[in-house]
Structure 1
Amino acid sequence: MYCQWAEDDFLPPGVIRVDCEGPRNNKTYVMYHGTTSANAKRILMTGFGQSKDGMLGPGVYLSRDLDKASRYPIDHPEYDRVVIKVKVNVGRVIIINYQNHPLQKTWQYSGYDTAWVPPGCGMVKSGLEENCVWDPNRISIIGTIKPKPDRGMFLCSYY
């Protein structure tokens, strides 16, 4: 089944649109987190929590790329996927652009607030960017985007 993810063009005041450069220190960006419907409901009620581990260690995994977030969770039915749209003040950012970087899983303990994996650097199979935010309090939920059937195709809408 094919799903097209539509996105609202309007950004909140003070938020920077995704660009080719990585997130800049202390700037605010719109980012996305792909999850299941059940997890989205829990996150909306209680907020984000840190994952225990991952490619960049513990933290909240997000992307400024809606296409990337809409693929998650991988191997989960598309109709039950939800993307949470958030606003993030990234704080101090470190670039992790190769496997086995000395701070790949420990950047959080070296004064960084966000780790950024650039697109096309070989660390992510999709070739798309990834961000890991250490402190969930840096994240404000804007809304959710969920695929919705429309005349045989799936479009996305806020709910």
Structure 2
Amino acid sequence: MQWAEEDFELPPGVFRLALSAPINNCNYVMYHGTTRATAQLILKSGFQQSADGMLGRGVYLSRDLQKASRYPIQSPEWDRVVITVKVNVGKVIAIHYQGHPRQTTWHNPMYGEMFDTAWVPPNCGMVKSGLEEDCVWDPNQIQILKIINPQPKQSGCGAACYM
């Protein structure tokens, strides 16, 4: 399956994916993969923190469209959409290995400095796909821009092919 952002212009002051760490207090375009039904709930009520995950509580996103388009993994491709968002990452911490001392406590002041976003670098061994991942603590830092739907391929692959 291929995903594409057709003629998407970046909002002023927003950056696209780079392999380097997100820069503190910058705005980035990020992506959140979900089902069509959940996307409608998010559009209606906004993002909510997940209760748990690899990086603990927060909203899981990626600056990599290909990473987000894989989610939710258990859902069929035809039911997946990607929500494009603008995020002010605030203060960022890199979590680059399993068992990092701040892996799930990056926003907890009891453990020292508080961070707004936890970033898992690409190819660090924490994510099977090798693609980067971000976890944003405060859903209010996330502004929904649009939804990307997979596009059916036009040439001879049948109804199940998407791009």
**Pairs within 5 Å for 1:4-153:** 4-8=2-6, 9-109=8-108, 110-151=113-154, 152=157, 153=161
Deviations 1:1-54 (A, max 9, x none): xx2101144211110121110101000000000000010000000000000000
Of Structure 1 and Structure 2, which has the larger fraction of its residues in strand? 1
Q: How many residues align?
A: 153
Counterpart contact for 2:39–2:81, Cα < 8 Å: yes
Larger Cα Rg: Structure 1 or Structure 2?
A: 2
In structure 2, what is the Cα distance between the partners aligned to 1:63 and 1:150? 25
Instruction: State the 1:149 CA deviation.
Output: 2.0
SS at match of 2:87: strand
The 1-side partners of 2:153 and 2:62 are apart by: 27
CA distance in 1, matches of 2:104, 2:36: 28
The normalised TM-score by structure 1 is: 0.93
User: Residue 150 of structure 1: CA displacement?
Assistant: 4.2
Aligned residue for 1:104, secondary structure, equals coil
- After TM superposition, give the deviation of residue 146 of structure 1 in Å: 0.9
Provide TM-score, normalisation by structure 2. Answer: 0.90
Query: Which sits farther off after the overlay, 101-110 or 136-145?
Result: 101-110
Q: For 2:98 and 2:151, how far apart are their aligned partners in 1?
A: 37
The answer for unaligned runs of 5 or more in structure 2 is none
Residues 3 and 151 of structure 2 are in contact (CA less than 8 Å); yes or no, is this contact kept in structure 1? Answer: no
SS in 2 for 1:39: helix
Q: Which stretches of structure 1, 4 residues or longer, exceed 4 Å deviation after superposition?
A: none
Structure 1: 5+ residue stretches without partners: none
What percent of counterpart residues are identical?
A: 65
